[in-house]
Chain A
Amino acid sequence: MSEQIHNTARPVLQLRQINKNFPGVKALQQAELRLYAGEVHALLGENGAGKSTLVKVMTGVLQKDSGEMLLDGTAQSFATPKDAQHAGISTVYQEVNLLPNLSVAHNLFLGSEPKRFGLIDKKAMAHQARQLLSSFGLDINVTAPLSDYSVAVQQLVAIARGIAPKRGAACTKVLVLDEPTASLDADEVHTLFQVLRQLKQQGVAIVFITHFLDQVYQISDRITVMRNGCFVGEYQTAHLNKAELIAAMLGKELSQQRHHTACLAVEQSEAILSARQLSSGQSVQQLDLELPQGQAVGLAGLLGSGRTEICRLLFGLDQADGGSLSFAGKEVKLSTPAQAIALGIALCPEDRKTEGMIAPLSIRENISLALQAKQGWWRLISKKKQQQLADFYIEKLQIATPDSDKAIGQLSGGNQQKVILARWLAVEPKLLLLDEPTRGIDIGAHAEILQLIRQLCQQGMSLLVTSSELEELTAFASKIVVMRDRRKVAELAGGDLNPDRIMAAIAGASV
């Protein structure tokens, strides 16, 4: 799978069989990464693939549970980010971690300012700063506050800071850039890439994390793909086309042809929800969508394609600014989740931790809260009834817990997800929106949740399920809506319901 072009050379940094566990989550399993001097190496994967955990292990923010990290061939482990920096590994994070109120020069040398008689030598600092930035082709007033400059310049300053020589530290061997282009426009990206090529020639190994695949092809030499905390493969960019890359990221072998006939009792049923030209700012554009009663519809697309935004829009978290939406035959306008819930729409959000569970509260309380909110605060669901609800769903969804008084935060990821599902089943919604319901949960719970989705369909509930795992979508969906760049680009049904077709639609190839 991986091409051994650098057989002779030794990687400047090699991570081997790295494992990292968080309570209930296996964040990294046998993760691998090899970096050679003078290359731009793209680290790719969907959200939750383990990219950032791997970077954190590499830069000393987190400690690996097991595995090996070789820097120039010798085993290393970093207790703190500072250790990693001293060893020559610098990181520039997505959000610029600089001090906007200080001058550019100050930012570049913060903590390692040139000194004279124990005081900061401002002249020397400005001089060095100018030198450093001019090597990036950046000619700016280094004594002006950083906030005077555009995000792109700030990003470049952050990178310059990352590679600036520091007292007592090795020169930069590895530079990690986490989504450096997320807030840059095309020209700015161009400038950044020029700097990267220059650094490459100086022999720096650059880790480039992004989800703009075009940029991967513009700048990177090699690619490492991760999925669900595991190493998928190491590729030469030139020898991997986009469709193959997407297949690797989403976990599909192109050759694999398996047809599922799950909810394929596709008799024409009434639409429970239909959207016409529904738009919301930049996040969803002119969406036409029909969700049939009693069926599960899949929503596919890469991260940032507008999947999550559709769920938010249909749940009243974002407001529509164009088009129309009708639910159960009636024209509706949603501006709060409470309105959506009252109509019979429920959402299991993508980010369980911050949007779903209320971690310190018990399973029992977490399950009964949505029903309680729907009933109103003045009509308390008695503790006995809460207990019955909780017991019923613990049984039905096989939630592994000694008792329902346990805080939901202490459960494993899969069980947490089941509790959130139970919360919404308890309000008996007509339409259930599931945003990545199987992300970050173990295989067993995964299968159970798929089973549950089919079961709910049979009982007449309508579902809209977002997932990055295409195989999974084809297992239950009666049709699949494919999103790209905030727009619906395809709607697949019947014989088209297979991962290849979906992937082709995602990649934008002619279907």
Chain B
Amino acid sequence: MTNEATVLNSHHSDQLEADQLKADQLKTARQARYSPGQSAHKFSLYLYPLLALALLLLVNVLMDPQFFSLQWQDGRLYGPLIDIVNRSAPVALLAIGMSLVIATGGIDLSVGAVMAICGAVCANLLLLGDWSIPAVIGLAVLTGVGCGLLNGVMVSYLGIQPIVATLVLMVAGRGVAQLLNQGQIVTFQNPDFAALGSGSFLGLPVPVWLVLLALLIMQLLLRRTALGLFIEAVGCNAKASRYLGIDDRGIKLAVYILAGGCAALAGIIATADIQGSDANNAGLWLELDAILAVVIGGAALTGGRFSLPRAVIGVLIIQALSTTIVVSGLPAKFNLLIKALVILLVLMLQSELFRNQLKALLSFGKARGGKA
């Protein structure tokens, strides 16, 4: 008996043998069915976000020929590109969590506020002085996970709409952070902790490493188990998922918890970077950037397929855009408007409807030109 038949038999003992399926039959079937279709499809999903990013970088290098230059200084790389990647770190972490929440058809508006809470937890513990750094980090992450648990319970067990449920913590979270900080901006002196935000490791900023680490761990967790598939199944059709034995509520709970954990990491980086916790401004509006990045990465807000790398590319696009506006020398007051316009363009390019209309328009122009 051939290899593939053995594998099958481990699943289907008698039933299959009764059918006497020939191994070579299987083989031809498989050869016919391993089509290149899927990889081509995947490629096109990456195409538009990568194209947009490349275009932005191109504009930058035209304005500033030094844009791609990197300098090695004090065992660390410096340059505009490194700057973009480094500044992207907090939103990238948020976007990783947000991808999962959005994949289930939900949304998490509270992650910016959770950053503030976790930042406040770090700052206050460090001020107390008798906590080791791993313990501080651990407690901050636990706090984030707790916030995610709260969101998840509201959404999946109390049946509150995600946008409303997480709005509660979005508003209340800043209040909690302000209470922790007793209305002050809490600053601390701790070079070791500060290194998490501004230090470097093997030439790259520590936040970049943290994002890569989180991305790697999450990819392993989601794609080396069936968790990612279950998240997508629940996002596509929660009812059918329950009917085939997936615990759809548990899955929803899990994604909010993961999003909370990611937000905690982002909060730690932001706090370490400024060596202080500002309850009013830490992570302010970043949840919106994270949602935008996920959408730019090609995910649908209605739930379904997700891709963490594409969401991170989305973050890089947003950050590169901000940098471009600064480099261009335009007055800062134009920033938000231009950002909005460019993002609108990216989203329109991703819309199949718009692309078809554009194509129709172009071919119409050609046809008319031909006649004239």
Contact = CB atoms under 8 A, between A and B. Distances in A.
A392 B229 contact: no
Interface in A335-358: 336-338, 341, 347, 349, 354-358
Instruction: Pick the most buried of A359, A392, A425: most chain B CB atoms within 10 A of its CB.
Output: A392
B16 interface: yes
A356 B229 contact: no
A337 B245 contact: yes
Contacts of B25: 395
B60 to A, nearest CB: 37
A361 B239 CA distance: 15
B237 A391 contact: no
Instruction: Pick the most buried of A341, A396, A402, A403: most chain B CB atoms within 10 A of its CB.
Output: A403
B338 interface: no
Contacts of B237: 354, 357-359
B291 to A, nearest CB: 21
Interface string B25-49: 1100110111101100000000000
Nearest to A423: B244
Contact of A428 (B15, B224, B305): B15
A354 B232 CA distance: 16
A20 to B, nearest CB: 25
Contacts of A336: 247
A351 B224 CA distance: 32
Interface stretch (A290-298, A373-381, A484-492): A373-381
Contacts, number: 125
A373 B239 contact: no
Interface string B222-260: 001111011011001101111111110000000000000
Contacts of A426: 11-12
B21 interface: yes
Given A337-B244, A405-B38, A392 B8 contact: yes
Instruction: Pick the most buried of A358, A359, A460: most chain B CB atoms within 10 A of its CB.
Output: A358
A385 interface: yes
Contacts of B192: none
Given A369-B229, A426-B11, A403 B33 contact: yes
A361 B29 contact: no
Contacts of B242: 337
A425 B305 contact: no
Given A392-B21, A394-B29, A402-B35, A358 B236 contact: yes
A430 to B, nearest CB: 12
Contact of A391 (B33, B304, B305): B33
B352 interface: no
Contacts of B341: none
A361 B232 contact: yes
A356 B241 CA distance: 8
A379 B229 CA distance: 12
Contact of A369 (B16, B18, B225, B244): B244
Interface string A293-311: 0000000000000000000
A349 B245 CA distance: 13
B130 interface: no
Given A372-B226, A391-B30, A403-B35, A317 B15 contact: no
Nearest to B4: A388
B24 to A, nearest CB: 12
A392 B236 contact: no
Nearest to A364: B33
Given A347-B243, A373-B226, A395-B29, 18 more contacts: A338-B245, A338-B246, A358-B240, A371-B11, A377-B226, A377-B230, A378-B225, A379-B225, A380-B226, A385-B11, A388-B30, A392-B12, A392-B16, A394-B33, A396-B21, A405-B35, A428-B13, A428-B15
Interface of B: 4, 7-8, 11-16, 18-19, 21, 25-26, 29-30, 32-35, 37-38, 224-227, 229-230, 232-233, 236-237, 239-247, 304-305
